[in-house]
Amino acid sequence: MAINADGASRGNPGPAAIGATIKDEQGGLIARIARPIGRATNNQAEYQAVIAALREAVRLGARKVDIRLDSELVVRQLSGRYRVKNAALKALYQEAKGLLARLETVTIRHVPREQNQEADRLANMALR
């Protein structure tokens, strides 16, 4: 399954929302997530978007996922290249890692914002 996820925050911290899509190997849409999450920073929203998408992928029985995010920080933290120093992100990081551990194969990669437009649109739509 392919996951594209994005978080949005107005004010950083401020009102925040998440957006994500889950697609099958042929690119067919399986699930779409768009919802407000209350007050959060951009990075907290990014993590919450990944967590929501992973929860749904696990619920759907996924064993292999390809995660695409436009947040370099979250990609680098989840792939082990950056340590998580921010206390507010540690619990979110641990929750995401716990969900990732339930999968057989995971790839996490950074994509330019242009390649994450659908998730970005969903997050911003939920923010209104």
- pLDDT (tens, 9 = 90+) of the chain, 128 residues, equals 999 999 999 998 999 999 999 999 999 999 999 999 999 999 999 999 999 999 999 999 999 999 999 999 999 999 999 999 999 999 999 999 999 999 999 999 999 999 999 999 999 999 98
Question: Which residue range(s) make up the domain with 18?
Answer: 2-127
What whole-number distance in Å separates Cα of residue 14 and Cα of residue 7? Answer: 12
Q: What is the pLDDT of residue 128?
A: 81
* CATH number of the domain residue 101 falls in: 3.30.420.10
Whole-prediction pTM: 0.96
- Number of domains the chain contains: 1
What whole-number distance in Å separates Cα of residue 25 and Cα of residue 74? Answer: 24
Q: What is the pLDDT of residue 52?
A: 98
Structure tokens belonging to residue 125: 């739509």
